[in-house]
Structure 1
């Protein structure tokens, strides 16, 4: 089977969102040709993030791992991806840190994640794009949202309310 496909992942984290231990929750949603195929929401197992950018960097790293795994699965099936895969993030600081290895000492504790992300971006396999927080699809997995925003995002995820069908 041949063909070209696009792969996108939306990543994010709710900085210090857990009231009990102040750990962040990361989330991502992976799309293949516009269809939701994988998602994850998990409390970060590492120490408490010191900034929202740090929490987002760790979420980006998880999203990139998901993209690379998906690309490998498709290649095993003899299916080629069309162009670079896209990673969407709602934190401009995290995107800047990911692209620029010459940062301040404040990011040394996330050095390995940062280098992994930077090398992947430099390879051209993945590109990053900023998406405003209100349009971040993976927020459905980790935040309480107003009804209107929840309905908009779940619709974009391709979800339907089976109880509203008559």
Structure 2
């Protein structure tokens, strides 16, 4: 920091002693969080071991939950009195503003009706399309052409890749609520270092797809790849179950993991090291431990019903929308209808 105006020149050996952390200094975020953390704990809340930004207060009959992001927070729960007490406690310690029922948070739009809650990023999409002059473009039915093969030298190298970087970065953020673009975004994000014309065309197609689907919302060898994926998913399932326990939600055991590769299921169920799997690192066999101790159960799912395929490949229009419906993607006007 700079010395305040009027400070005597020539005393280079002296510095300012701060009585409190100032906004903008690199230690300010840590100091702020420590202050908030001590305040919320004094109010009777517990910090989650699974997510340090999550705080809960659980009783035999109710729960109050607070989720913090920098200095924005979401408060919810089954105890209106407890929520009011939390707000009062925070107002005594901080200058806060109650914005009412959650409708927008970190780019996520939240809407409700009698049947549930919808999460979307329609405004985010609208702003993205407008920023890149795609708000009035002709839409397409899928985010990526079927059988498209992009290479690092696909077309002429872009002289300025800033637009490509900007769009892809925004699409990565958007894919949190739009799994239907996950695979396409995964592909185009591989060429961030040196994007070419064909890569930009593929990115523009994703924008054209979004232009026509803004209202949608979301309420190795193949065997080795599937097996590795099972281990990763198993870890996530364990983490989610621990996280849900912070909300007082008990998950049945075993948790069901659906897999469309029977060979991968056999490897997980059989501890014998086959020649084709002995090179797989030990930590990948974590799925075997989960299966053995009853944390998960593995069930075969026909490939045509595997919704996770939407994250890994491009499809025809009918197939793309069939899998999208299974992921509960809905036009806001369709919400409330059947699958």
TM-score, length-scaled by structure 1: 0.66
Of the two, which has the highest radius of gyration? 2
1:160 aligns with 2:315: no
Q: Is the 8 A contact 2:253 2:294 kept in 1?
A: no
Separation of aligned partners in 2, 1:163 and 1:141:
25
Q: Is the 8 A contact 2:231 2:285 kept in 1?
A: no
What SS class does the counterpart of residue 257 from structure 2 fall into? strand
Residue in 1 aligned with 2:318?
A: 148
Residue in 1 aligned with 2:295?
A: 125
The correspondence for 1:104, drawn from 271, 274, 291, is 274
Residue in 2 aligned with 1:74?
A: 244
Query: CA-to-partner distance for each residue in 1:27-48, whole Å, 9 max, x for gaps?
Result: xxxxxxxxxx9977668xxxxx
TM-score, length-scaled by structure 2: 0.34
What SS class does the counterpart of residue 286 from structure 2 fall into? helix
Separation of aligned partners in 2, 1:149 and 1:69:
31
Report deviation, 1:92: 0.5
Separation of aligned partners in 1, 2:331 and 2:314:
17
Report deviation, 1:135: 0.7
Q: Is the 8 A contact 1:57 1:94 kept in 2?
A: yes
What SS class does the counterpart of residue 299 from structure 2 fall into? strand
Query: CA-to-partner distance for each residue in 1:99-139, whole Å, 9 max, x for gaps?
Result: 11113222112141453111110111100111111111111
Residue in 2 aligned with 1:62?
A: 232
Separation of aligned partners in 2, 1:89 and 1:68:
17
Mapping of 1:16-27 within 5 angstroms? none
Change beyond 3 A, Cα 1:99–1:113:
farther
Change beyond 3 A, Cα 1:20–1:88:
farther
Give the number of the structure with larger relative contact order, counting CA–CA contacts within 8 Å between residues 6 or more apart.
1
Report deviation, 1:77: 2.1
Report deviation, 1:82: 2.2
Report deviation, 1:62: 1.1
Tell me how many residue pairs correspond in the alignment. Answer: 129
Change beyond 3 A, Cα 1:54–1:19:
farther
Query: CA-to-partner distance for each residue in 1:63-97, whole Å, 9 max, x for gaps?
Result: 10110000110122222112311111111101110
Change beyond 3 A, Cα 1:163–1:75:
closer
Higher strand share: 1
Change beyond 3 A, Cα 1:128–1:117:
same
Which runs of no fewer than 5 residues in structure 2 stay unpaired? 1-61, 64-148, 153-176, 188-219
Q: Is the 8 A contact 1:98 1:114 kept in 2?
A: no
CA RMSD of aligned residues (A): 3.0
Which runs of no fewer than 5 residues in structure 1 stay unpaired? 3-17, 22-36, 44-48
